[in-house]
Chain A
Amino acid sequence: MTAMTTNWIEIGLLEDIPREGARLIRTPSGCIAVFRTAGDEVHALDDRCPHKGGPLSQGIVHGTSVTCPLHNWVFDLSTGLAQGADEGQVATYPVRVREGVLQIAAGKLAAER
Chain B
Amino acid sequence: MTDKKKLVVIGAGMASGRMLETLLEAAPDAYDVTLFGAEPRGNYNRIMLSPVLAGEKSYEQIVTHDGDWYAANGIACRFGETVTRIDRNAKTVTTAAGETPYDKLVIATGSAPFIIPIAGRDLPGVRAFRDLDDVEAMVEAAARPGAKAVVIGGGLLGLEAAAALRSRGMEVVVLHLMGHLMERQLDPAAGHLLRRELEGRGITVHTQAQTKAILGNERVEAVLLDDGTVYPADLVVMAVGIRPEIRIAVDAGLDVERGIVIDDRTFTSDPDILAVGECVEHERVCYGLVAPLYTMAGVAAKTLLGEEAAFRPLETATQLKVTGVSLYSAGDFADGEDRDEIVLRDASAGIYKRLVLKDNRIIGAVLYGEAADGPWFFDHIRNRTDISDMRETLIFGQSYQGGAPLDPTAAVAALPPEAEICGCNGVCKGTIVTAIETRGLTTLDEVRAHTKASASCGTCTGLVEQLMQATLGEAFAVQAVKPVCGCTHLGHDEVRRLIRAKELKSIPAVMQELEWTSSGGCAKCRPALNYYLVCDWPDEYADDYQSRFINERVHANIQKDGTYSVVPRMWGGVTSAAELRAIADVVDKFDIPTVKVTGGQRIDMLGIRKEDLPEVWADLGKAGFVSGHAYAKGLRTVKTCVGSDWCRFGTQDSTGLGIAIEKFMWGSWTPAKVKMAVSGCPRNCAEATCKDVGVICVDSGFEIHFAGAAGLDIKGTEVLGHVATEGEVMRHIVALVQMYREQGHYLERIYKWAKRIGLDEIRRQIMDELERREAYYERFVFSQKFAQVDPWSERASGKDKHEFKPLATLELEAAQ
Chain A residues near B (Cβ < 8 Å): 9, 11-12, 16-21, 23-28, 31, 34, 37-38, 52-55, 58-63, 65, 67, 69-70, 72, 74, 102, 106, 109-110, 113
CA distance A12 to B806 in the complex (A): 10
B540-590, CB < 8 A from A? 545-550, 554, 558, 560-562
- Min C-beta distance of B179 to chain A, whole Å: 20
Contacts of B520 in A (CB 8 A): 20, 37-38, 61-63
CB contacts (< 8 Å) of B548 on chain A: these are 60
Q: Say whether B815 faces chain A, with CB atoms less than 8 Å apart.
A: yes
Give the residue of A16, A18, A34, A58 whose beta carbon is less than 8 angstroms from that of B562. A58
Give the distance to chain B from A80, nearest Cβ to Cβ, in Å.
Answer: 17
Interface footprint category on B: 20 to 34
Known: A28-B810, A28-B815, A70-B560. A23 touches B523 (CB 8 A): no
Minimum distance in angstroms from B30 CB to a CB of chain A = 68
Contacts of A58 in B (CB 8 A): 550, 554, 558, 562
Residues from chain A with Cβ under 8 Å of B561 in the complex: 53
Do residues A74 and B814 form an inter-chain contact, with CB atoms below 8 A? no
Interfacial chain B residues near A102, Cβ < 8 Å: 807
Q: Which residue of A lies closest to B553 (CB)?
A: A58
Q: Judge if B816 is at the interface, Cβ distance under 8 Å.
A: yes
Residue among B562, B815, B816 facing the most chain A CB atoms (10 A cut-off): B815
Q: CB distance A27 to B815 under 8 Å?
A: yes
A62-B520, A72-B523 are known contacts. Are A106 and B816 too (CB-CB below 8 A)? yes
Name the residue of chain A whose CB is nearest to the CB of B562. A55
B158 touches A (CB below 8 Å): no
Cβ contacts under 8 Å, A17 to chain B:
802, 807
Question: Does B518 reach chain A (CB closer than 8 Å)?
Answer: yes
Decide: A69 near B549, CB < 8 A? Known: A58-B558, A60-B527, A106-B815: yes
Q: Is the interface of A mostly helix, strand, loop or mixed?
A: mixed
Q: Are A25 and B558 in contact (CB under 8 A)?
A: no
A72-B485 Cα distance, complex, nearest whole Å: 14
List 6 A-B pairs, Cβ < 8 Å. Answer: A23-B806, A54-B562, A55-B558, A59-B550, A60-B549, A74-B523
Given contacts A34-B807, A63-B519, contact A106 B546 (CB under 8 A): no
Question: Which residues of chain A have C-beta atoms less than 8 A from B815's C-beta?
Answer: 9, 27-28, 106, 109-110, 113
Query: Footprint of A on B, CB under 8 Å?
Result: 518-523, 526-527, 545-550, 554, 558, 560-562, 802, 806-812, 814-816
B523/A62 in contact, CB under 8 A: yes
With a CB–CB cut-off of 8 A, which chain A residues contact B549?
A: 60, 69
Contact (Cβ within 8 A) B802 A18: yes
Complex interface: chain B residues within 8 A of A113 (CB) = 815
B806 → chain A, closest Cβ, in Å?
Answer: 4
Inside 8 A of A26's CB, which chain B residues have their CB? 806, 808-810
Are the C-beta atoms of A25 and B806 separated by less than 8 Å?
Answer: yes
Is the Cβ of B546 less than 8 Å from the Cβ of A12?
no
Closest chain B residue to A36, Cβ basis: B546
Q: Check if B547 sits within 8 Å of A23, measured CB to CB.
A: no
A25 touches B810 (CB 8 A): yes
Chain A proximity of B518: nearest CB distance (Å): 6
The CA of A26 and the CA of B527, in the complex, are separated in Å by 29
- Residues of A within 8 Å of B558, CB to CB, are 55, 58, 69-70
Smallest CB gap from B518: residue in A? A63
Q: How far is the CB of B405 from chain A (nearest CB, A)?
A: 35
Looking at A28, A54, A60, A102, the one whose CB has the most chain B CB atoms below 10 A away is A60
Q: A59 to nearest B CB, angstroms?
A: 7
Closest 6 CB pairs of A and B: A67-B523, A23-B807, A20-B546, A63-B520, A11-B808, A58-B550
Q: Assess whether A24 is in contact with B807, with CB atoms less than 8 Å apart.
A: yes
* Residue of A27, A62, A63, A69 touching B550 (CB-CB under 8 A): A69
Task: Provide the residues of chain B in CB contact with A70, threshold 8 Å.
Answer: 558, 560
A96: min CB distance to chain B, Å:
15
Pick the contact of B807 from A25, A60, A61 — CB < 8 Å?
A25
In the complex formed, the residue of B with least CB distance to A61 is B546
State the Cβ distance, B315 to closest chain A Cβ, in Å: 36
* Contact status B560-A52, CB under 8 Å: yes
CB <8 Å contact, B809 and A16: no
Give the shortest distance, in Å, between A5 (CB) and chain B (any CB).
Answer: 14
Decide yes or no: A23 and B814 within 8 Å by CB, A18-B546, A69-B549 being known contacts. no
**Residue among B518, B549, B802, B811 with max Cβ neighbours from chain A (10 Å):** B802
Q: Which residues of A sit under 8 angstroms from B526, Cβ to Cβ?
A: 60, 62
- Chain B nearest CB from A2 CB (Å) reads 14
CA distance A65 to B546 in the complex (A): 13
Q: List chain B residues, Cβ under 8 A from A54.
A: 562
Are B546's CB and A19's CB within 8 A? Answer: yes
Q: Which residues of B contact A12 (CB under 8 A)?
A: 807-808
Question: Which B residues lie within 8 Å of A25 (CB)?
Answer: 806-810
Q: In the complex, what residues of B have CB within 8 A of residue A61's CB?
A: 520, 546
Q: Which B residues lie within 8 Å of A62 (CB)?
A: 518, 520-523, 526
Q: Which residue of B lies closest to A66 (CB)?
A: B523
The complex places the Cα of A72 from the Cα of B558 at a distance, in Å, of 13
CB-based contact A60/B811 at 8 Å: no
CA A72 – CA B562 in complex, angstroms?
Answer: 14
Tell me the smallest distance from the CB of B803 to a CB of chain A, in Å: 9
